[in-house]
Amino acid sequence: MKVLVANLGSTSFKYRLFDMPAEVQLARGGIDRIGGEQSHCFVEIGEHREEHEQNVPDHAAAVNLCLSQLTNSEWGCLESADEVAGIGFKAVFAGNMSGVRLVEETLLTKMEALSDIAPAHNPPYARAMRQLRQAFPEIPLVAALETAFHETIPPENRTYAIPFQWDEEYEVKRWGFHGASHRYIGSRMAELTGKDDLKVISCHLGGSSSLCAMHGGVSKANSLGMSPQTGLPHNNRVGDFDPFALPVLQKATGKSLEELLEDLSSKGGLLGMSGLSGDCRDLEEAAANGHERAQLALGVFHSAIRHYLGGYMTVLGGVDAIVFTGGIGENSVSLREKVCSNLEWAGIRLDPERNQNASEESQIQADDSNVQIWVVPTNEEIVVARQTVETIEGRA
């Protein structure tokens, strides 16, 4: 079964094609600047790679281009687009309509109604899904909601201290996100260690970041809350923030609530603190050269990670393994060093040389560490591919 997994942005479409259930990646590609005068397109199939510029007006046209690439007579991997059994989406938020489900009108309406919660994610996904349903009615579309993995979190770790009616009637709770990534880390750690009852803290650190406490691959807590703007500071999103500061800011700046929320979701985080960049690579270079606000931004980020790390050791009653994943988690030697520093009291000791030389799937703890420390690249796409297959087969 051939499954296409789509990762969408407002002006981007990235994809991977898998042969399931063998889980062989047959192709990957993407289109950026959709809707602009010229879109940047790339594709990798086997040893063939090409990049070019062309006009791609919308996401339906992007999928058409993708299918033409996959069926190219010279270097494509499909004889016909009919071989695509389904398209899976790493969708973000639909409130109580969580889980993994076929894309239909009720789901799309719900996602659109909740766009204020995930403004960078829900609008492009709902818009693209509508385009694709119309353009390719014969191909099943499957939405794997990021909140699905966290449905196992107990009420005491999901409930805000708010009027209970808000939880019951308005779906205000700690939903948690990055579900595909944390699910992958949980299952992969069981494979790597041969143990299926591990207490794992997964640190997904990238443009958007979160920590997840898992026991036996089951989510027990996640640092993201009602929206993807919460928890740790993100590249340009605020993270945890006191809502009672908003009236103060309204009076001081003359801005509306909507304008302030836009600032918090696009001008906050590492970018807002540093005034320089939301990219950790830029900040680490600037901090090394004495840039004080870059140093501050990184310090706040490291402290927030350690805050949740310590809390999640309490949630789990200890920890067997800490896993760093995501673009920052996998690549930042200094971040891993800062996060794991002075934790010998908890049996956590990093090996500096192993940390420096970590690549792919690596253990980086010292020999006398009681807790394993891993660097493991995540694979959200294969999780969505698996879920897509299960949903399509369950529909038959």
The proportion of the chain whose per-residue pLDDT surpasses 70, expressed as a percent, equals 99
- Taking all residues of the chain, what is their mean pLDDT, rounded to a whole number? 95
Lowest mean pLDDT among 51-60, 217-226, 355-364, 383-392: 51-60
Asked whether residue 66 is marked as a ligand-binding residue, the answer is no
Q: Quote the tokens at residue 396.
A: 């038959």
Asked whether residue 239 is marked as a ligand-binding residue, the answer is no
**Average pLDDT, integer, range 346-374:** 97
Asked whether residue 310 is marked as a ligand-binding residue, the answer is no
Q: Distance (Å, rounded) from C-alpha 174 to C-alpha 310?
A: 19
Interval 178-199: pLDDT, tens: 999 999 999 999 999 999 999 9
Strands 321-325 and 372-375: parallel
Position 13 scores a pLDDT of 87
Q: Distance (Å, rounded) from C-alpha 302 to C-alpha 341?
A: 10
**Half-sphere exposure of 149 toward its Cβ, with a 13 Å CA cutoff?**
33
**Average pLDDT, integer, range 76-102:** 94
Asked whether residue 280 is marked as a ligand-binding residue, the answer is yes
Position 357 scores a pLDDT of 97
Spell out the alpha helix ranges (H) of 156-211.
164-170, 179-193
**Average pLDDT, integer, range 292-321:** 98
Q: Distance (Å, rounded) from C-alpha 101 to C-alpha 324?
A: 29
Res. 28 pLDDT band, cuts 50 70 90 = very high
Interval 207-246: pLDDT, tens: 999 999 999 999 999 999 999 999 999 999 999 999 999 9
Neighbouring C-beta atoms of residue 205, cutoff 10 Å: 25
Residue 395 has pLDDT above 80, yes or no: no
Phi and psi (nearest 5°) for 198? -75, 145
| Of the candidates 257, 236, 240, the residue with the CA atom closest to the CA atom of residue 248 | 257
Asked whether residue 328 is marked as a ligand-binding residue, the answer is yes
Position 10 scores a pLDDT of 65
Q: Quote the tokens at residue 82.
A: 């009919």
Domains of the chain, start order: 2-145 (3.30.420.40), 194-375 (3.30.420.40)
Q: Distance (Å, rounded) from C-alpha 29 to C-alpha 207?
A: 20
Interval 31-47: pLDDT, tens: 988 888 899 999 999 99
Q: Quote the tokens at residue 368.
A: 């006398």
Interhelix angle 257-266/245-253, nearest 10 degrees: 110
**Average pLDDT, integer, range 123-129:** 88
Q: Which residues 6+ apart lie within 8 Å of 228 measured at CB?
A: 92, 93, 117, 118, 120, 121, 177, 208, 234, 237
Asked whether residue 279 is marked as a ligand-binding residue, the answer is yes
Asked whether residue 19 is marked as a ligand-binding residue, the answer is no
Strands 362-363 and 372-375: antiparallel
Strands 362-363 and 321-325: unpaired
Asked whether residue 380 is marked as a ligand-binding residue, the answer is yes
CA distances from 59 to 15, 39, 141 (A): 12, 12, 14
Asked whether residue 282 is marked as a ligand-binding residue, the answer is no
Q: Quote the tokens at residue 131.
A: 């385009």
Residue 383 has pLDDT above 70, yes or no: yes
Asked whether residue 361 is marked as a ligand-binding residue, the answer is no
Q: 3-state class of 38 per DSSP?
A: coil
Query: DSSP assignment of 308-336, as one string?
Result: HHHHHHHHHTS-SEEEEEHHHHHH-HHHH
Res. 12 pLDDT band, cuts 50 70 90 = confident
- Listed ranges 49-58, 125-134, 333-342; the one with the highest mean pLDDT: 333-342
Position 396 scores a pLDDT of 56
Residue 76 has pLDDT above 70, yes or no: yes
**Average pLDDT, integer, range 82-102:** 94
Asked whether residue 176 is marked as a ligand-binding residue, the answer is no
Residue 56 has pLDDT above 60, yes or no: yes
